[in-house]
């Protein structure tokens, strides 16, 4: 009626959504869309999830779709892999990816290798998801980033969201994918609100696996990151902008397959590269990016060596002051950019 009267209707505005709620929405929508999808893990059902990601889903979908498991990662990951081979689409939650080490045989030897070893006749459509990397005050056995570990393994897809849109779009894409996907979330981001566009509020919103996003356009230096450090890069870019340095910030979103083309195009434009990650330096995600740039056409456009910003090469200390010094901070990124630009 308003349109007939010639009145302009405004589109629904973007809304603020936390990463936790975005993940919950994605699970809810995919459980509703496909009856083959089910969620299992420790405390995901009656307790609503250790981080409340699965809040309300057990009451809505019942015991067969949202399943509490014993504290045995090897056991419930094996059940999930077998279910995927039999035609279901399980979402397997690890309370922390540090404990996915208990199930590494199931993730790599069972899930990742089966499609190849069966000549493509057996698909394993499974998502392994949960918090990855450092949280706050939980010490070494709960604070490791496994992006490089899982990104190393052919047969897996590995995604690492930063924003609420990343979390929703990548989880939905992962559940719909016919390959095993490892989704590395971050506990410290769960409660952080991000703007979610009208498009992302759709039930059909997915983010293609393997495509990075340029979060901030720039001309002087390329910052490449994933997960929580993307936010640090955005903060560092704002600080550096006041000093006349224009940073381009790339949110990888996917670790494997890696969108190196987007990084190359940015380096061709800016002539400088800084990688930022929370993981250890040796054989890390940043090391892979630097190698790929060095081996490819963008190398000829670099005006200075690439610089890596990483976590410290030690098991994570418990004490807060030591923990802070082991995790990349905004000041570390600013320092690395100035080093790359020789200013």
pLDDT reported for residue 2: 47
pLDDT reported for residue 12: 61
User: What contacts 26, CB < 8 A, 6 or more positions away?
Assistant: 167, 168, 169, 171, 172, 175
pLDDT reported for residue 14: 85
User: What contacts 84, CB < 8 A, 6 or more positions away?
Assistant: 90, 111, 123, 124, 125, 126, 180
Cis status, amide bond into 164, omega within 30 of 0: no
207-236 pLDDT, tens digit per residue, is: 999 999 999 999 999 999 999 999 999 999
pLDDT reported for residue 188: 96
Question: Is 243 known to be catalytic?
Answer: no
Q: Give Cα 174 to chain centroid, integer Å.
A: 11
Catalytic residue among 73, 248, 277, 288: 73
Catalytic residue among 42, 93, 142, 187: 142
119 within 8 A of 295, measured Cβ to Cβ: no
Question: Is 277 known to be catalytic?
Answer: no
Strands 213-216 and 37-41: unpaired
138 within 8 A of 125, measured Cβ to Cβ: no
> Which SS3 state, helix, strand or coil, does residue 101 take?
helix
- Which pLDDT tens digits describe the chain residue by residue (343 residues)? 444 444 444 556 789 999 999 999 999 999 999 999 999 999 999 999 999 999 999 999 999 999 999 999 999 999 999 999 999 999 999 999 999 999 999 999 999 999 999 999 999 999 999 999 998 999 999 999 999 999 999 999 999 999 999 999 999 999 999 999 999 999 999 999 999 999 999 999 999 999 999 999 999 999 999 999 999 999 999 999 999 999 999 999 999 999 999 999 999 999 999 999 999 999 999 999 999 999 999 999 999 999 999 999 999 999 999 999 999 999 999 999 999 999 9
H or E stretch including 15?
strand 15-18
Distance CA 228, CA 47 (A): 26
251-306 pLDDT, tens digit per residue, is: 999 999 999 999 999 999 999 999 999 999 999 999 999 999 999 999 999 999 99
Q: How many helices (H) and strands (E) does the chain have?
A: 12, 14
Q: What is the pTM of this model?
A: 0.93
182 within 8 A of 213, measured Cβ to Cβ: no
Burial 111-139 (b: 16+ CB within 10 A, else e): bbbbbeeeeeeebbbbbbbbbbbbbeeee
């Amino acid at each position: 009626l308003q349109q007939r009267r010639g009145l302009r209707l405004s589109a629904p505005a973007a809304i603020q959504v936390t990463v936790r709620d975005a993940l919950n929405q994605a699970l809810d929508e995919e459980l509703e869309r496909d009856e083959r999808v089910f969620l299992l893990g420790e405390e995901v059902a009656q307790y609503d999830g250790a981080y409340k990601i699965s809040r309300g889903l057990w009451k809505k979908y019942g015991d067969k779709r949202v399943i509490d498991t014993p504290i045995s990662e090897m056991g419930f990951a094996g059940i999930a892999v077998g279910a995927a081979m039999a035609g279901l689409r399980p979402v397997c939650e690890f309370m922390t990816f540090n404990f996915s080490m208990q199930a590494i045989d199931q993730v790599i030897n069972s899930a990742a290798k089966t499609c190849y070893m069966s000549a493509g006749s057996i698909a394993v459509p499974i998502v392994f998801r949960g918090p990855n990397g450092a949280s706050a005050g939980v010490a070494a056995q709960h604070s490791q980033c496994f992006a490089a570990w899982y990104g190393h393994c052919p047969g897996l897809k590995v995604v690492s969201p930063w924003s609420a849109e990343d979390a929703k779009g990548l989880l939905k894409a992962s559940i719909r994918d016919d390959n095993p996907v490892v989704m590395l979330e971050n506990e410290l981001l769960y409660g952080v609100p991000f703007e979610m566009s009208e498009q992302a509020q759709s039930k059909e919103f997915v983010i293609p696996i393997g495509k990075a996003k340029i979060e901030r356009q720039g001309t002087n230096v390329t910052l490449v990151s994933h997960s929580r450090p993307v936010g640090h890069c955005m903060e560092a870019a704002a600080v550096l902008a006041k000093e006349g340095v224009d940073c381009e910030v790339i949110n990888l979103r996917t670790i494997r397959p890696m969108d190196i083309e987007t990084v190359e195009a940015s380096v061709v434009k800016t002539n400088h590269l800084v990688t930022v990650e929370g993981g250890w330096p040796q054989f890390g995600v940043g090391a892979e990016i630097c190698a790929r740039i060095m081996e490819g056409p963008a190398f000829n456009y670099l005006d200075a060596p690439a610089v890596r910003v990483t976590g410290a090469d030690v098991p994570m200390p418990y004490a807060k002051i030591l923990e802070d010094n082991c995790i990349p901070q905004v000041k570390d990124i600013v320092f690395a950019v100035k080093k790359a630009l020789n200013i």
